Amino acid sequence: MKSIFTFILLLVMTFSSAYSQAEQYMMTSTKLTVHSGPGLNFNTIGEIAQGTQVYVMSSNYGEWSAIQYKKINGFVVTKYLTEDSRIADAEAAAAKAAAQREAAKAAAAAAIAQAEAARRAAEEAARKAALEAKRARELAEAEAAAAIAQAEAAQTAKDEAARKARQDASETEAALKAARARAAKGIDDVASNPIESATPSYGASSNSSSPKAANIEVTREDKYSSWEKKTYKSGATPKSFNFKGKFDYKLDNYLKIKVGKNTEVVIKLYKLGKTPSDDQLVRVTYINTNTTQFIRNIPEGEYKLKIAYGREWKEKVIDGKKYGTFTKNALYEESKQILDFQTVKTTKGINVPSYNLSLDLLPSGSGGYSTGGSGDESISADKFNQ
């Protein structure tokens, strides 16, 4: 061991030589042992923990440097001293924090802008929804008003038909009474319109002295006597048309047809082409009395109807071609109304049109039946079978 005198002498030498060196603060990279001189053979006078800042007075002792830490003054191994990076680290941390703060501000601004855009989009969607709801309400009100008007018109037509039927019945009853009165008095003059009587001589008894008319046997030729009577279920296609319907099973549309008590019908559904010769038959459907029938899965397009009304459907092959017709109360129409089965794309999806149709015959004043229309849609049986 060196003496204290030697240490003091070396310390004075250290201070004098270090004065000319560049003084600096450095940091310990590991735990250091402080010696009283520049070598391991000098006394240990203290320890300094890793990461401690020390003041380096001189590094001109080979592998050793003279340092000052608080009250400790001695020598440590130079290679375990590094530059103090705490200020640089602090500056780097501050710069990083500033960058993070700016990024946070930018993210907040973007979030605010996104929220504002979402708010505007929600307001626009609400405005459009309100507008659509208003349009739907107005359309529903218009349809309801039209339905009420149609129902009132139908009721008026029904009342008028009933009134006309009552009037005709009253006139017929009056004519019958007059005929019976004349017959009871033996008057053999006959009204211009034949009246059905209980006897062949228009009411003259066998004891009457008035001349008797000879019994006349009247027969009516039935032109459909050779035709074959056919019965079909509602929804069937009569065999006389030799036709197979066309369907589009991707479309859930329909034509709903309600048939009344006075008739049966045959519906022919035509898809319109560019010209009448291009029209294409898509369905032929038989519907019985007092029946509601749905014609479904109709391909897209515009359509017209041909309708046959009547009773007792019969069929026959004439010159190799099959024909079908009603043989009682037969009426035929070609509708001028166009049924548009084109789908329509909306904001809520695809609108698939469907229609309702009510068909029946009304008693007419002549004792027959009519559809109650103007008659300008009437066609012949031959045209219906084309």
pLDDT tens digits, one per residue of 4-16: 444 444 444 444 4
List, in sequence order, the alpha helices (H) in 55-85.
none
Give the pairing type, strands 24-28 and 81-83: antiparallel
Q: What is the pLDDT of residues 107-131, one digit of tens each?
A: 999 999 999 999 999 999 999 999 8
Minimum mean pLDDT among 207-216, 235-244, 245-254: which range? 207-216
Most confident of 145-149, 194-198, 331-335: 331-335
How high does pLDDT run on average in the chain? 81
Minimum mean pLDDT among 96-110, 128-142, 367-381: which range? 367-381
Model pTM above 0.85: no
The residues near 307 (Cβ < 8 Å, ≥ 6 apart) are: 265, 266, 267, 268, 332, 333, 334, 335, 359
Q: Which of 335, 294, 327 is nearest to 310 (CA)?
A: 327
Give the pairing type, strands 254-259 and 355-359: parallel
4-84 is a CATH 2.30.30.40 domain: yes
Percent residues over pLDDT 90 in the chain: 47
Whole-angstrom distance, CA of residue 245 vs CA of residue 23: 107
pLDDT band at 357 (very low <50, low <70, confident <90, very high): very high
For residue 334, pLDDT beyond 70: yes
Give me the pLDDT at residue 44, please: 94
For residues 146-171, one letter each, b for 16 or more C-beta atoms within 10 angstroms of the residue's C-beta and e for the rest, the string is: eeeeeeeeeeeeeeebeeeeeeeeee
Q: Which of 207, 172, 209 is nearest to 191 (CA)?
A: 172
Residue with tokens 């603060």: 25
Minimum mean pLDDT among 32-41, 208-217, 341-350: which range? 208-217
> With contact defined as beta carbons under 8 Å apart, do 4 and 37 qualify?
no
Whole-angstrom distance, CA of residue 175 vs CA of residue 188: 16
Task: Please state the domain extents for the chain.
Answer: 4-84, 89-213, 228-385
Q: Which of 250, 283, 253 is nearest to 265 (CA)?
A: 283
> Is the dihedral angle over the CA atoms 143, 147, 149, 150 positive or is it negative?
positive
Give me the pLDDT at residue 94, please: 87
Strand (E) positions, the chain?
Answer: 24-28, 32-35, 44-48, 53-61, 64-69, 72-77, 81-83, 228-229, 254-259, 264-271, 280-287, 291-296, 302-318, 321-334, 339-340, 344-346, 349-351, 355-359, 362-363, 369-370
Over range 352-367, report the average pLDDT: 84
> With contact defined as beta carbons under 8 Å apart, do 301 and 272 qualify?
yes
Torsion angle (degrees, nearest 10) of CA 41, 45, 49, 52? -100
Give me the pLDDT at residue 349, please: 85
Whole-angstrom distance, CA of residue 77 vs CA of residue 72: 15
Over range 10-25, report the average pLDDT: 51
For residue 76, pLDDT beyond 80: yes
